[in-house]
Amino acid sequence: MHYIRAFLHLMFGLMLLASVSVTSAQAQGTPPLDPTAALLVELIRVNTSNPPGNEAQLAELLAPRFRALGFEVDIIPTPVAGKSHFIARLRGDGSKKPLLIAAHADVVGVEREKWTVDPFAGVIKDGSVYGRGAIDFKGGMAVFARAALMIAEKKIPLSRDLIFLAEADEEGAPFNTSWLSRDHFAKIDAAFALNEGGWIIKGDDGRAKYVSISTADKSSVQLIVTARGTSTHSSMPQPDNAIFVLSKAMAKLADYETAVQLTASTKRFFSTLAETSVPPMSQYFRDLVSGTAAKAHAADKMISKDPLLHSIMRNTIAPVFLTAGFRSNVIPGSADATLNIRTIPGTTAASMIAELTRVINDARVEVKVAPPSGTAPPTATAAAATMIPESPTSSELYIALEREAKVTYPTAKVTPYLFQAGTDAGAWRSRGIPVFGIYPYAITADELKRMHGNDERVSIESLRRGTEMIYRTLVRVAGKAP
Ligand SMILES: [Zn+2]
């Protein structure tokens, strides 16, 4: 292992040299790096892998730039040393409620040996910025920050305050925006907000096919399936062995598929896919939204081969832990499976428990909400989150972003979208404040797969156009009418 490590160090060293020579090439007359890409390189170089996060270092990097342009800067420390939220406010004339743009500062960790470059060096290669967070979500932070700074540089008169927020602990840790909103909500209160969420997806021809803007997130709840049997000596087994009972229950769940439930956003999303794809998929998308029950069912089977599309049209069930037994000469009296359930808006934990109990149909098996544990978010709030309504597409912010997305990507259709995972938008949506999500750069399906994966990267041209799109959206929503 040490030899391999030494070899990797050598490789990283050579790559660093390569990136240094790119920089000196720029000094010798090649055009300077796009400002958004340059900022992203700096953001990636601050390693904010969570745990521990170290988001305060990113706040220190951002603070002087925002202060220099007239933003009021607030750094909110959390109980964990080195972990802070960063808030920068540019004052408008106060005639309208603020516009908030939010980006999480932390990233997930890396499997370094699977990267071809140093994930924390901000390497530029083949027209892209490489590094952990390039897509999720330091790329978005660079775009949002540059767009906000441009508003100040160009001295755009504002009718509402513009608030830029760099959040701690989005990637599944306790001092996230829900924590921030408890005592500091006045600092992040707004009429509406932009956050991470939907996608600008490029086709094989390099042109944007569609722009999806998320208007809601799926929620998650942990359920425990407990099977009970006789606890006894393993030399004299009885038919009610808890592990067998649990296995039978899990086999029933494995063969079960939840019903398709299309929200208003999901219907529009699949209709957009019908328009932007080729047969036979285009017909399947059409059938899913408006076909007969039999056609919709057949379409579901085909579309669901894509795990992302499968997940946004239904509640999903994923077993994640099994617990049973403590020694080889004892048959345990109970066996547990933990299920991670991802719910579409409107689904409660109680309705999922009833559904799974019906499918398992065995009086020896009980399904209940898992107690809070370790770093898992408390399920009580997750259950409440399922009742948060979708943010309305009639909102001034949605309309402005939709319009600027069409200007920036004339070939693309724009659609609302139910985001397949959770984000930290709940702090606002749960208070009735609309949040719209976008990863503001055009990416290919391959680049999308690299999010939370290896060789995560984003194209410099996509960053440049995304910054233009967000800047014009901010001017439209927060700028004073001329
Ligand atoms: Zn993210």
373: confidence class by pLDDT, cuts 50, 70, 90: low
Distances (CA, A) of 188 to 9, 89, 151, 432: 43, 9, 19, 14
Do 68 and 23 share a domain, yes or no? yes
Mean pLDDT check: name the lowest of 186-195, 216-225, 361-370: 216-225
Do 209 and 246 share a domain, yes or no? no
Spatial strand order of the sheet with 219-228 comes to 316-324, 334-343, 219-228, 365-369
Do 249 and 102 share a domain, yes or no? no
29: confidence class by pLDDT, cuts 50, 70, 90: low
Do 371 and 457 share a domain, yes or no? no
Distance 31 CA to ligand 1 centre (A): 31
| Torsion sign over Cα 396, 399, 401, 403 | negative
Residue 28, pLDDT score: 57
Do 203 and 244 share a domain, yes or no? no
Mean pLDDT check: name the lowest of 57-61, 109-113, 211-215, 442-446: 442-446
Q: Give the whole-angstrom CA distance, residue 64 versus residue 61.
A: 7
**CATH number for the domain that contains residue 29:** 3.40.630.10
Mean pLDDT, the chain, integer: 91
Q: Give the whole-angstrom CA distance, residue 366 versus residue 390.
A: 32
pLDDT(17) > 60? no
Q: Among 241, 171, 187, which Cα is nearest to 75's?
A: 187
Do 41 and 100 share a domain, yes or no? yes
Establish if 70 belongs to a structural domain.
yes
Do 63 and 134 share a domain, yes or no? yes
Distances (CA, A) of 43 to 59, 255, 315, 466: 10, 45, 35, 17
Distance 239 CA to ligand 1 centre (A): 48
Domain count, the chain: 2
419 within 8 A of 217, measured Cβ to Cβ: yes
* Beta-bridge partners for 158: 479
Do 81 and 144 share a domain, yes or no? yes
Distance 171 CA to ligand 1 centre (A): 7
Distance 254 CA to ligand 1 centre (A): 29
Alpha helices in 255-348 (DSSP H): 264-276, 281-290, 293-303, 307-312
Rg (CA), the chain: 24
Do 243 and 109 share a domain, yes or no? no
Residue 391, pLDDT score: 95
Q: What number is the average pLDDT over the span 101-108?
A: 97
The domain of 398 spans 19-216+391-478
363 within 8 A of 205, measured Cβ to Cβ: no
* Helix (H/G/I), strand (E/B), else coil: 465: helix
Q: What number is the average pLDDT over the span 51-64?
A: 97
Q: What number is the average pLDDT over the span 339-354?
A: 92
376: confidence class by pLDDT, cuts 50, 70, 90: very low
Q: Give the whole-angstrom CA distance, residue 341 versus residue 347.
A: 11
State yes or no: cis peptide before 52, omega within 30 of 0: yes
Do 402 and 474 share a domain, yes or no? yes
Establish if 134 belongs to a structural domain.
yes
Tell me the pLDDT tens digit for each residue of 275-302. Answer: 999 999 999 999 999 999 999 999 999 9
Q: What number is the average pLDDT over the span 92-99?
A: 97
Distance 415 CA to ligand 1 centre (A): 20
Establish if 167 belongs to a structural domain.
yes
Establish if 114 belongs to a structural domain.
yes
- With a CB cutoff of 8 Å and minimum separation 6, the contacts of 138 are 40, 43, 44, 103, 105, 107, 131, 132
**CATH number for the domain that contains residue 319:** 3.30.70.360
Distance 429 CA to ligand 1 centre (A): 17
Tell me the pLDDT tens digit for each residue of 229-284. Answer: 999 999 999 999 999 999 999 999 999 999 999 999 999 999 999 999 999 999 99
Residue 389, pLDDT score: 79
Establish if 295 belongs to a structural domain.
no
Tell me the pLDDT tens digit for each residue of 131-152. Answer: 999 999 999 999 999 999 999 9
Quote the percentage of the chain above a pLDDT of 70.
91
Quote the percentage of the chain above a pLDDT of 90.
82
Distance 451 CA to ligand 1 centre (A): 9
Distance 142 CA to ligand 1 centre (A): 13
Q: Among 208, 275, 214, 127, which Cα is nearest to 442's?
A: 208
Establish if 11 belongs to a structural domain.
no
Residue 326, pLDDT score: 96
379: confidence class by pLDDT, cuts 50, 70, 90: very low
Distance 364 CA to ligand 1 centre (A): 40
Do 41 and 134 share a domain, yes or no? yes
Establish if 418 belongs to a structural domain.
yes
Residue 24, pLDDT score: 47
Establish if 469 belongs to a structural domain.
yes
457: confidence class by pLDDT, cuts 50, 70, 90: very high
Do 159 and 36 share a domain, yes or no? yes
Residue 451, pLDDT score: 85
